[in-house]
Amino acid sequence: MALVMVSPVAFAGPEEDRQAFTAFFKSRFPEIPFEEFANGIYAIDQDAREQWQEIETFPPYEFTIDEGRELWAQEFPDGKTYADCFADSETGVRQFYPRFDPDSGEVQTVATAINQCRENHGAERLKFGGDEIVALSAYMSFVSRGQPIFINVPVDEPSARAAYEEGKRFYFTKRGQLNLSCADCHVVSVGQHIRSDRLSASLGHPTHFPVYRSKTGGMVTLHQRFSGCVRDVGAKPFDLQSREFRNLEYFLTYMSNGLDINGPGARK
Amino acid sequence: MANQIKISAKLKGSVADVKSLMLHPMETGARKDPDTGELVPAHHITQLIFTNNGKQVMVANFSTAVSKNPFFGFSFEGAKAGDTLKVSWVDNKGETAELETQLA
Amino acid sequence: MAPKNLTFIMLAWLLTSPLPAHAVETGGPNCSPSAKQTQQTQGRAQTPEEQYKRSYNEAECLRRAAAAKGAEWLETEKLLLRSIEEAGNGRWENALALAEKGRFQAEQALHQAEYEAEAWKGRVLK
Amino acid sequence: MQKTKRLFLKGSMALLALASLPRALLAAVWPKESFDSTSASGALKALLGTDVTTPSEQIKMKVPEIAENGAVVPVSITTNLENVESISIVVPKNPRPLAASFEIPTGTLPKVSCRIKMGETSDVMAVVKTGSGIFSASREVKVTIGGCGG
């Protein structure tokens, strides 16, 4: 009985999922080149794009990048720095996150990796969504600008695949009082108006975070954005960096493999 | 991190194209603190002044209706490489910030 | 979109589930399947207070069941907390109305989660 | 190309000395009365002595048709008019319509850009004072209630 109900598609491999995912957006927006999806809604909405470009000429997140650069160079109590945890290459490491961490058996994001690094070197963990961790991840995105996302779901790690599948399930599951899934807005209704906003494509969603949002006049992380979306459909959000959100990020970022990191970004 | 200014100045011949960004809350005085419900007092940059080699090239007067972390761009003639462009602001609380940069 | 039999499933679930009616004051109801109802009200009309407490406990157990599935709605817990506040002021009718709203939401969230357990697979792009 | 012009406000030096502002800012006075005015007309009168402006097609404005967010509306103004002394941005429907005013000394191009807040859909007026008069241009910017930010 259960076997009959399981659609084979739901268990297609990550790479087949990704190809189907990108093919959908390619057929929905044949005029938009693949790499443009890294620009989120501004790949689709021209009037908004001009305002965005104007703000990107001198974006308010520049202060945050500076702060992150300073924090990156600070020494931990044992004299080490972040560079000892992350490869201190010119192209950064943002494009490789989230990644499956065999030690913990869980998905590690930039934020959890930052805290892991601090813990390993005798520094206190930072509060997720707090100024310092956001500045650090903004700086790390900045360093990785132009690097294509390269997320791996190792085939020899069943837990990695399970985490990916859990993220995929989250993405396609309707939730909340409005009974909407991520895919309902950002795949099925992509480009449609929701009041005065247009719905962005999920392809490219993770490339540009954290973002400076005009609405709040501050930085917003991907998980804060997840939280906002879950709230918007009338469901109780999960915690920042919860297993649910990390797995969702794993799936969503895998779907954007090959797109360039272009964070941090400015958003309305 | 307070009182920061960022400036970018590009020379095109003798014209300097100046863009600047200031870290400032630009509180209108009409916003309520979500935690306390109290009005947050107005706190905004009132005046932004640019000088090039000591000569004033721009005075920008701002109200509270200029966006948080204000951006301001303008251009002036008669600039050359090596000139000292200086920007300073003052806000309604009397706080100030300034920054100097060499045109290149 | 919702399957026709979900209401039935939920009804069956409700009927077979224990509905402990105690301890709004002591950190919430005991929702474990082995918990027995401690208060029997059969044979006489319930007081508004009893009605409320029963409703609240049911709602809170349903809410926890929805939360355990990661399917809790945004306002459910707030509704129930407000009902406790109303109850604390002896406004049993208001308290009951809020608890019932919370119960409705929690039920719907559970319906949703049970339906979605399979339905999401049909939405995966292929 | 541009001629010498008078001080933006006479007597500003004395006023500022009293206010004991930093030396770098001893240049011009912040036109408080105009900024405090709750009408566009009042703001212009306080700032320029009159609220009568001549519409001019030589003023080019770049503003969005629909603001992505009323908190950050990019505004760029440039003009071919000569002897420009000041450029001001007025949003008649804002609680305090005068958003910003820029003093343009000789040698500075009449070309400014900034980002402003708008409470609701309104015209955005560019008011340009030159040696020969006061000119204006106007464009409507729609401010809508967002959905969820894209």
pLDDT for the residue C12: 39
Domain boundaries of chain C, sorted by first residue? 46-116
- Predicted confidence at residue D64, as pLDDT, reads 94
Q: Is residue A196 part of a domain?
A: yes
Asked if residues A24 and C125 have their Cβ atoms less than 8 Å apart, the reply is yes
* Number of structural domains found in chain A: 2
Residue C28 pLDDT class (50, 70, 90 cuts):
confident
Q: What mean pLDDT is predicted for residues D41-59?
A: 95
Q: How confident is the model at residue C7 (pLDDT cuts 50, 70, 90)?
A: very low
Give pLDDT, residue C5.
45
Cβ A243 vs Cβ A196: under 8 Å: no
Strand, helix or coil for residue B74: strand
B32-43 residue pLDDT tens: 888 888 999 999
Nearest CA in chain D to B79: D107
| Res. B1: pLDDT tops 70 | no
Residue A133 has pLDDT above 80, yes or no: yes
**Which tokens is A109 given?**
């994001």
Active site residues of A: 229
Residue from the list A55, A58, A63 with its beta carbon closest to the beta carbon of B23: A63
Q: How many domains does chain B have?
A: 1
Range of A137's domain? 62-143
Confidence of residue C16 (pLDDT cuts 50, 70, 90): very low
Specify the pLDDT at position A88: 66
Tokens of A96: 């490789």
In this predicted model, which residue has the larger pLDDT, A140 or D25? Answer: A140
In a domain, A4, yes or no: no
What is the spatial distance between Cα D81 and Cα A8, in angstroms, rounded to a whole number? 69
pLDDT digits (tens, 9 = 90+) for A152-211: 999 999 999 999 999 999 999 999 999 999 999 999 999 998 887 889 999 999 999 999
What is the C-alpha to C-alpha distance for residues D67 and D120, in angstroms, rounded to an integer? 10
More confident residue, B104 or C23: B104
Confidence class for position B57, pLDDT limits 50, 70, 90: very high
N- to C-terminal Cα distance for chain A?
Answer: 48
| Touching pair C, B by Cβ (3+ pairs < 8 Å) | no
User: Do residues A163 and A246 share a domain?
Assistant: yes
Q: Answer yes or no: do A173 and A257 share one domain.
A: yes
E strand or H helix that includes residue B52: strand B45-52
From chain B, the residues in CB contact with D100 under 8 A are 60-63, 65-66
A268 and D65 in contact by Cβ < 8 A?
no
Considering only CB atoms, which chain D residues are within 8 Å of B45?
none
Q: How confident is the model at residue C45 (pLDDT cuts 50, 70, 90)?
A: confident
Tell me: the pLDDT tens digits for A7-53? 444 457 999 999 999 999 999 999 999 999 999 999 988 888 998 99
CATH number of the domain to which A235 belongs: 1.10.760.10
Q: Which of A116-130, C9-23, D66-80 is least confident?
A: C9-23
Instruction: Tell me whether residues C72 and A236 touch, CB distance under 8 A.
Output: yes
What is chain A's mean pLDDT, rounded?
93
Q: Choose among C112, C123, C126: nearest Cβ to A183.
A: C123
pLDDT of residue D8: 34
Helices (H) and strands (E) in chain B, counts: 0, 7
Q: Do D65 and A214 touch (CB under 8 A)?
A: no
CA-nearest residue of chain B to D21?
B94
Q: What is the tens place of the pLDDT at every residue in C83-115? A: 999 999 999 999 999 999 999 999 999 999 999
B66 φ, ψ to 5°?
-85, 135
Residue D127 above 70 pLDDT? yes
Residues 59-78 of D with CB under 8 A from B: 71-73, 76
CB pairs under 8 A between A and B: 29
Q: DSSP labels for C63-92?
A: HHHHHHTT--BSSHHHHHHHHHHHHHTT-H
Domain, as residue range, for B62: 5-102
| Higher local confidence (pLDDT), D54 or A9 | D54
Q: Tell me if chain A has a CB within 8 Å of the CB of B8.
A: yes
Q: Do the domain assignments include residue A49?
A: yes
D69 contacts A268? CB cut-off 8 A: yes
**B45: CATH:** 2.60.40.10
Note whether A106 and A191 are same-domain residues.
no
Average pLDDT over residues B67-72: 95
- Coil vs helix vs strand at D116: strand
The mean per-residue pLDDT over the stretch B46-50 comes to 96
Question: How far is the alpha carbon of A33 from chain B, nearest alpha carbon, in Å?
Answer: 31
For domain D31-143, the CATH superfamily is SoxY domain (2.60.40.2470)
Band the pLDDT of B4: cuts 50, 70, 90.
Answer: confident
Domain assignment present for residue A97? The answer is yes
Residues of D with CB under 8 A from a CB of A: 64-69, 71-74, 76, 113, 115, 144-150
Does A175 map to a domain?
A: yes
Both A197 and A73 in a single domain?
no
Task: Give the count of Cβ contacts less than 8 A between chain A and C.
Answer: 67
Share of chain C above pLDDT 90, in %: 62
Q: Subunits that touch chain B (at least 3 Cβ pairs < 8 angstroms)?
A: A, D
